[in-house]
Amino acid sequence: MDSDGLTLDLQHRHIHQEATLLAGALTDLAQRASVYHHLYQDSGGRNVFPLIAAHGALWGAGYFALGMKVGTLLSAQFLFSPDQRRAKLRQLHAFADAFREINRQVCVEAYTAYHFSKLHGDHPGAERYLQPRLLAALNRCHHAQARGEPLAQAERSELFEAFFLWEQEFIVGPAVERALAALDWPLIRRVALRPRIDFASTAERIEKGMRAYELAEQAGLAQVEIDLRRYGVLPQAFFRDSAEHFAALRGHLLPGLTTGAQLR
């Protein structure tokens, strides 16, 4: 590998390390929402995928809490089989953790893709690290930002779709299949998989995801950003100054870490 290739590897590894620390532990959904929002804000509102993902993370906080309560109630069917009841509840917790891990992993890779492409998206060899369609869409975003120009709605849509299809193919789809294979509780599968969407269906996940983007554009992205408040999960410091809140979070989580940005 030539020196340029080594530099790209080093940059990608450091940004990925930074992203992993920022994404936090499985239950740090509010923290991930702040990281997602940072990606949207850093792009000047051009990269809409993380804004929608922030809503998903915050919605998940309430959904998982409700799911645990429902699962505990439904486990009453095994009241006279304590070992079986404990086994089913362990499966339920593992199932919820699998979905939290999906959210965590998407956050890690979305952060890495955005910041790596911002630094090196035009560099020969960048396509080794990012899917070509996603890299091209991110590069258009970064170029528009560098010129101080807005990203046309069609290009925002293309960037969202490229991000969304990439995460479905490489992260969400395989992880959902593994989670379902490990959950041997038909009743809770039916309850858990259909809050508003059949999570087991790739086609329905894609359809609903693209519809969420269309509705966000119709409502206005500024309103979608304001609506992050309605979950009651993010701290007031976020709403006072989201950029300052993220900077404080980053400073707390990454003290002394040599980041990709510092290596430029």
What pLDDT shows up at residue 67?
57
> Measuring CA to CA, which residue among 103, 68, 102 is closest to residue 88?
68
pLDDT classification of 261: cutoffs 50, 70, 90:
very low
Distance CA 106, CA 48 (A): 14
What pLDDT shows up at residue 18?
97
**pTM here?**
0.84
Range from 6-15, 77-86, 203-212 that averages highest in pLDDT: 6-15
For the cut 50, the answer to whether the pLDDT of residue 1 exceeds it is no
Q: Which of 16-20, 35-39, 187-191, 213-217 has the lowest mean pLDDT?
A: 187-191
What pLDDT shows up at residue 98?
84
For the cut 50, the answer to whether the pLDDT of residue 120 exceeds it is yes
pLDDT classification of 32: cutoffs 50, 70, 90:
very high
CB atoms within 10 A of CB 161: 18
What pLDDT shows up at residue 93?
78
CB atoms within 10 A of CB 8: 21
- Say what percent of the chain tops pLDDT 70: 80
What pLDDT shows up at residue 203?
78
Tens digits of per-residue pLDDT, 143-177? 999 999 999 999 999 999 999 999 999 998 888 88
| Residues 153, 155, 161: CA angle, nearest 5 degrees | 105
Q: Specify burial of residue 211 (Cβ count, 10 A radius: 0-12, 13-18, 19+).
A: exposed
61-89 per-residue burial string, b: 16 or more CB within 10 A, e: under 16: bebbeebeeebeebbeebeeeeeebeebb
What does the pLDDT average to over 60-72? 61
**What's the one-letter identity of residue 213?**
Y
